[in-house]
Amino acid sequence: MNFLELAKTRYSVRGYLPKAVEPEKLRYILECGRVAPTGVNAQPQRILVVQTPEGMEKMAKATGIPELYHAPMAIIICVEPECAWTRKYDGHNIHEIDATIVTDHMILAATEQGLGTLWMCRFKPEIIRSEFNIPEKYVPVNVLLVGYPDPEALYKAPDRHDAEGMRKPLDETVSYEIF
């Protein structure tokens, strides 16, 4: 599978089979996140893996989605802004960018392994913090659901990236030389 095929295979999975993610696949996903680039190689991320039923109940509470599409596992991508690089010209701290490239590496790794994912920013940060004892200095940026896609679930068609209106054409989002 070339990169474009992999990118088009990924889609937001909102329905999972009751099947655990194999430890070696989880390890592979985490390793792909580990080698992701971060600004000045600061590696400010901290990754929290949640895979017990009790943990997934806490995730359901934090997201407000009962049963959380039956996902067997969630990965919370946290980051420590104080460790991340800050651009001196305008004081912009890049912690969310760092967390996000790590997240995307893991998403594509999971896709390559035949797994589905759902990237979620819709969660209550304070509930995530309190339920999982996340120290104040870390920011939970992204939540990733990971598991085997349920073929019966809604929104399953991976080829919908090319469906009419699903993605803007390149000429709407790319320009050359002058914005």
Ligand X SMILES: Cc1cc2nc3c(=O)[nH]c(=O)nc-3n(C[C@H](O)[C@H](O)[C@H](O)COP(=O)(O)O)c2cc1C
Position among 74, 83, 120, 145 found at the interface with ligand X (CB under 6 A): 120
Separation of alpha carbons 29 and 73, rounded Å: 13
Given the complex with ligand X, which of 1 and 40 has the nearer CB atom? 1
In Å, how far from its chain's centre is CA 7?
14
Given the complex with ligand X, which of 7 and 40 has the nearer CB atom? 7
CB 34 to ligand X: min, Å: 21
Position among 53, 122, 152, 175 found at the interface with ligand X (CB under 6 A): 122
Site string for ligand X, 129-168 (x = CB under 6 A): --------------------------------x-------
Position among 43, 96, 101, 119 found at the interface with ligand X (CB under 6 A): 119
- Which residue reads 């068609």 in tokens? 157
Q: What is the amino acid identity at position 97?
A: I
CB 145 within 8 A of CB 68: yes
Closest alpha carbon to 54 in 62, 44, 43, 46: 62
| Other CB atoms within 10 Å distance of the CB of residue 102 | 27
Given the complex with ligand X, which of 58 and 89 has the nearer CB atom? 58
Determine the 3-state secondary structure of 127 from DSSP.
Answer: helix
| Other CB atoms within 10 Å distance of the CB of residue 173 | 8
Q: Which residue is nearest to ligand X (CB)?
A: 122
Map the footprint of ligand X across residues 8-47, applying CB under 6 A.
Answer: 11-12
Q: Residues binding ligand X: what is the number (CB under 6 A)?
A: 8
What residues make contact with ligand X under the rule CB under 6 A? Answer: 11-12, 118-122, 161
